[in-house]
Amino acid sequence: MPGAWAQVQASGEPPAIKGWRAETVTSALPQAWAMAWLPDGRMLVTGKEGTLHLVAGGKVQEVAMEGLPKLMSSGQGGLLDIAIHPADKGPNIRVYMTMANGSSSENRTILVQGMFDGKKVGGIKTLFTASPSKSGGQHFGSRLAWLADGTLLMSIGDGGNPPQRVGNMLARDQAQNLGSHNGSLLRLTAEGKPAPGNPLAARAGALPEIWSYGHRNIQGLTVDVASGRVYASEHGPRGGDEINRIEGGKNYGWPLQSFGADYSSREPIGKTSVPGMVDPLVAWVPSPAPSGLAWYTGAAFPQWRGSLFSGSLAGMDLRRIVFDSNGKVVRQEKLDIGKRVRDVRQGPDGQLYVLTDEDRSQLLRIVPDKS
């Protein structure tokens, strides 16, 4: 039978809601990509061009980094996601970052780790390198999320759109190739090794890091800590952006299953539902270009608890996805931000924070509007 949410229907742009406003924390972040909080409440923000910034009290300070590998910052590549080891409280904090490494002719997504001593990130080392390498500047994936067992999820994009090729196949077909990291979600130890118990590791020819596959380009990743459920937002081509609930060992279909169409021919890619593959919770046509994903549990908006919030680059909004008690999507609505949203996270204060995608990015805090 098809996936858990069979025969999902593609949805368009949801209605806008009010009762909130965006406060500007700072407008001094160079092309920000991702944010993570330190145990003391300060924030680290990556800049796509290879910079790292400390945000405290609305002030921004660049953080020196020692040992960062060669950065490939053209196209969609650059210094991308960031995560703090959840067990570290100080004075030294393990900082994990994803990045595009190499050159325009040969590059790949890597995971690095360094130690933040309060002033700089030193001793940066490469923990994991995705293979095979590819060319061009598309589809690096790069989102990170910690699971309760201390393992780390990391998304890897499929490598690019046709006519882009990786090895002897179209790049997008790598997503169905378990001998390739491309087009998959990985589960790693804190040291960057294959996590024990990965469900596909025993399959002949499968790489042991792969947790799920059939992904085009996951750009949002979050975990509902209470239930342990993992959610991802994913770019489709010309329509067909998705929200998925991710389970280890499952195939999410790309490019055999999709609501999208080929950029050149405009012909549908695959079928909207394929037996044995997991259907998305949400499929958006047209594409809002999702980026960043947060599971909301805060007190500022009690009516929003238990909802997903997905940032939108092309749609310039935040999309709230509402679930019923069985985990089925029952409603969507949007918060009009008016700028491309690169990342959205819930902070330690229970508020939603948004990073805009600009040469000088804004960090926004979403708060109730009583007016």
Residues with a catalytic annotation lie at 139
DSSP string, 224-283: -TTT--EEEEEPPSSS-EEEEEE-TT-B--TTTB-S-B-TTT--B-SBS--TTSPPPSEE
Place of tokens 């090895």: 167
Radius of gyration of the chain (CA): 19
Q: CB–CB of 40/367 below 8 Å? A: no
Measuring CA to CA, which residue among 202, 313, 200 is closest to residue 248?
200
Q: CB–CB of 156/124 below 8 Å? A: no
Distance of CA 37 to the CA centre of its chain: 16
Q: Report d(CA 344, CA 34) in Å as an integer.
A: 8
Q: Report d(CA 50, CA 78) in Å as an integer.
A: 6
SS3 358: coil
Q: CB–CB of 92/108 below 8 Å? A: no
Measuring CA to CA, which residue among 79, 72, 82, 74 is closest to residue 47?
79
CA torsion, points 364, 365, 366, 369, in degrees to nearest 10?
Answer: -100
Please state the three-class secondary structure of 180-234 as a single string: CCCCEEEEECCCCCECCCCCCCCCCCCCCCEEEECCCCEEEEEECCCCCCEEEEE
Residue count (the chain): 371
Q: Report d(CA 141, CA 209) in Å as an integer.
A: 15
Q: Sheet of 210-213: strands edge to edge? A: 144-146, 152-156, 184-188, 210-213
